[in-house]
Structures are given as C-alpha cells and as structure tokens.
Amino acid sequence: MIQFSAQQIALMIQGKVDGDQEVVVFEFGKIEEATTGQISFLANPKYEEFIYTTQASIIIVNETFTLKSPIKATLIRVADAYAAFASLLTKYQALKTQNLTGIQTPSYISESAKLGENHFVAAFAHIGNNVNIGNNVKIFPHVVIGDNTIIGNDVILYPGVIIYADCVLGNHITIHAGTVIGSDGFGFAPSTDGRYQKVPQLGNVIIEDHVEIGANTTIDRATIGSTIIRKGVKLDNLIQVAHNVEVGENTVIAAQTGLSGSTKVGKGVMIGGQTGTAGHLSIADGVKVAGRSGITKSIIQANSTVTGYPATDNGSALRAQVHMKNLPNLEKRVKELEILVAQLTQKG
C-alpha cells in the first residue's frame, strides 16, 4: 500500500496545501463516496455540494474555489483540479508498476531476443525470434510478441495483448488487454468462379511515442508498407483500424469506431463513438466528428465539425433535423393546399 501526505502530494502536482499538511491518504475515491484515508477532487460545479459532506481526507480543488462553510478535509489548491488529479493518477500507476521486474516462469523468450534494463515478463508470455525490447518494459501474462518486433522504452503491454511479427512500437506506449496489433488486413480478390482469393498482407504496423490503446482494439497490418499510429494518439476500447490506415498526431477516437482501409486521419482529430468511415478517404486536421456518424467522402475543411449519415457540416445537419420535425405539419399543409387548388380549379 502506497501512502502520501498532503504536503508530498502538493509537491507532485504543484499545489498549495490548505489545512493539515501531514494528513495521509492511501486510496482514491469519488467525492460523493470517499472515506477517511482517501483523496478526491472537485472540478465540476455540479458536485460542489459533496465537498461539505464527504469523508475524504484530502480534496484537490481549483485555486479559485471558495468555501461556503467549514469542511473536515484538507484542500490542495491547483490551477486545474481535473488535470492535477489526472497527473496524480498517472504518477500513482507508474509507482505501482515500477517495482515489477524480472522474468516469471513459465514463459518463453527466444534466445535471439534482446531485453533492456528493468524489464518485467510475466508468466505465460511469449517473446519471439529477434525481438528487440527497450528499458522499463512491462509485459503481463499471455502477451505474445511476434518475431522481429521492435519495442521502445517505457511500454506496458497488459494481459492478452498480441503483437504480430515485424511491428514497430515507440516509447511510452500503453496497450490494454486483448488488443491485437498487426493481424492481417481484410484483403480478398474476387475470382471469376465467385470465390475470393486472399491477398497476402506483407506490411506491418508502426506505433509512435506516447500512444495509448484501449482493450480489445484491433490494428491491421498493411498490405504493403505500414499502418501508422502517430505520436500522442489515444484509441478507446473496441476500435477497428484497417490496413494502411494512418492516424495523425494527437488524434482521439472513441469506442466502436471503424476506420476502413487506407483512411488518412489528420492531426488533432476527435472522432466520437460508433463512427464509421469508407475506405481511401482523408480527414483534415482538427476535424470533430460526432458519434454515430458515417463518413462517406473526404473531409477537406480543417477544424470543421460534422455529424450524421452521410456526415455533413454540423450546422446544416442541425437545420435539417429541425425541418424533419416539421415534416408532419408540412405534409398536412400540402394536402390542404392541394384540396384548395382542386376547388379553385373546379370553380374556374
């Protein structure tokens, strides 16, 4: 169990203690449920009422926050409570894993594989031929790393991650349980007899630095060349990235999204959940895509927002929704006009 005082935490997140500097916490808790010995945070004003009833020992708040009545907890005031709490969680997670070192048995490590310093290989992991692994890499149970794969420093591969042969991973990467990197792209050529002939997928997957990939996501290897996930990308759970896709720097993609083959996603793009794209199109830098959208053609305007199926400009889509609501009234008015025109025609 890891314990920290308010003073130690304040140093870690560049905060100022308001209260007992020596109070100690050892767990995290939601502000509405936290108990003694736990630390929480307040960033959303909707939860402000709980700061007066919570049993948390320490609460991280914005430096501008003003109390309306006395509380029991010690406050740590920071510029941005949410960001500071996220930073603290990251540091805590790193402390939990930094002491994991060594090689558990049974596990398989090829004689030709190279492992850096301070590595951890859990039982039932498999590391193939000519694999090159950097420093501070943590490999959990049932991870499989295919031949000739290169992995940089400070990488965490959670249980059941499968990395096929020839893939390249950079530094500071986290891949969560059940994700598959480098499986074959969906390539089949129709034959004259109605059957489909498999097109060999000879490329690989490249994942650059500071990428995090959620659980049960799949990233297919390229047919030729590379499927590329650029630095800073964050992928949610249950995402399908097809062959030869390129995802630009610092793009974030929510769950159940599918990127079809050869899609090119720009930098800083935000894609909502359950979105799908057609293949061989591009999405410009800074585009925001609403959840459950269907992208059927390239989006060339940077920093635009699109929604719907087929995905269109958000403003136009909202106006269309308003007109859709009015369709029953419009239908009624059209029928009334038809009757009126018919009556006038008869009189004429």
First-to-last C-alpha distance (Å) of the chain:
93
Instruction: Indicate which residues carry an active-site annotation.
Output: 243
Compute the distance between CA of residue 143 and CA of residue 160 in angstroms, rounded to an integer.
5
Domains of the chain: which residue ranges? 4-98, 102-313
Residue 73, pLDDT score: 96
Residue 348, pLDDT score: 66
The DSSP bridge partners found for residue 126 are 108, 144
CATH fold of 102-313 reads: UDP N-Acetylglucosamine Acyltransferase; domain 1 (2.160.10)
CATH number of the 4-98 domain:
3.40.1390.10
Phi and psi torsions of 222, nearest 5°: -75, 155
Compute the distance between CA of residue 11 and CA of residue 41 in angstroms, rounded to an integer.
16
Residue 331, pLDDT score: 84
- The total of other beta-carbon atoms located within 10 Å of residue 125's CB is 23
Enumerate the H helices of 3-56 as residue ranges. 6-12
pTM: 0.84
Give the residue among 262, 222, 263, 257 at the shortest CA–CA distance from 237: 257
The DSSP bridge partners found for residue 169 are 151, 207
Compute the distance between CA of residue 348 and CA of residue 346 in angstroms, rounded to an integer.
5
- Grouped pLDDT means (10 residues each) for the chain, 348 residues: 89 96 95 96 96 97 96 96 94 81 96 97 98 97 98 97 98 98 96 94 98 98 98 98 98 98 98 97 98 96 94 78 79 88 83
